[in-house]
Amino acid sequence: MATPILDGPSACVTLSNGVRMPWLGLGTWRSADGDEVEAAVRVALEAGYRHVDTAAVYRNETGVGRAIRESGVAREDVFVTTKLWNDAQREGPDAVRRAFDESLARLGLDELDLYLVHWPVEGCWRDAWRVLEDLYEEGRCRAIGVSNFLVHHLEALLEDCRIVPMVNQVEFHPWLVQPELLATCRARGIQHEAWSPLMQGRFLELPELAEIGRAHGRTPAQVLLRWNLQKGSVTIPKSVRPERIRENMGIFDFALAHEEVARIDALDRGERIGPHPDEIEF
pLDDT digits (tens, 9 = 90+) for 252-279: 999 999 999 999 999 999 999 999 999 9
Give the pLDDT score at 69. Answer: 97
- Percent of the chain whose pLDDT exceeds 90: 95
Mean pLDDT of 88-93: 98
Read off the pLDDT of each residue in 81-90 and give the average, rounded to a whole number.
98
Tell me the average pLDDT across 200-227: 97
Q: 12-269 is classed in which CATH architecture?
A: Alpha-Beta Barrel (3.20)
Where do the domains of the chain lie? 12-269
Residue 31 above 50 pLDDT? yes
Asked if pLDDT for residue 214 goes beyond 90, the answer is yes
C-alpha 223/C-alpha 227 separation (Å) is 6
pLDDT at 188: 97
Residues with active-site annotation: 58
Q: Is the pLDDT of residue 95 over 50?
A: yes
Q: How sure is the predictor about 1, in pLDDT bands with cuts at 50, 70 and 90?
A: very low
> Residue 3 — pLDDT band, cuts 50, 70, 90?
low
As a whole number, the mean pLDDT across the chain is: 96
Res 7: pLDDT: 75
Which pLDDT value is given to residue 10? 85
Contacts of 76 (CB under 8 A, 6+ apart): none
Least confident among 7-16, 22-31, 95-104: 7-16
Q: What is the mean pLDDT of the segment spanning 29-56? A: 98
Q: Does the pLDDT at position 8 exceed 90?
A: no
Q: Give the confidence band of 134 by pLDDT, cuts at 50, 70, 90.
A: very high
Examine the pLDDT at 183 and tell me if it is beyond 70. yes
